[in-house]
Amino acid sequence: MNPPCARCGKIVYPTEKVNCLDKYWHKGCFHCEVCKMTLNMKNYKGYEKKPYCSAHYPKTSFTIVADTPENLRLKQQSELQSQVKPHPHAAL
């Protein structure tokens, strides 16, 4: 049985099948979500199981660092190190 295309929902036959991002696509349906540029296995970038060209690949921005015990320890350690003053005669 031939699977449906992830983009158009029509049957994908073996000669036109692209198996990528855990889905099946027609070659023509495997295009960038933004600009519709046709992609292939060499030039696509997957994000949330959708194909993108490199120009439109969503940039992940990290806005907050989770306060895990390890991150809290590192933050505290770096704060302590930034408060350390060099000894006046240390360069001698």
Question: 35, 12, 38: which is closest to 25 by C-alpha?
Answer: 12
Cα separation, 13 vs 25, whole angstroms:
10
Chain centre distance of CA 20: 15
Cβ neighbors of 19 (< 8 A, separation 6 or more) are 25
Question: pLDDT of 35-67, one tens digit each?
Answer: 999 999 999 999 999 999 999 998 866 566 667
Hunting for tokens 């360069």 — which residue is that? 91
Assess contact for 65 and 43: CB atoms under 8 A. Answer: no
Say if residue 3's pLDDT is above 90. Answer: yes
Would you state the pLDDT for residue 51? 96
pLDDT reported for residue 14: 94
CATH number of 1-84: 2.10.110.10
CB 64 within 8 A of CB 80: no
- The token pair that represents 84 in the structure block: 């350390």
Q: By the 8 A CB rule, do 25 and 2 touch?
A: no
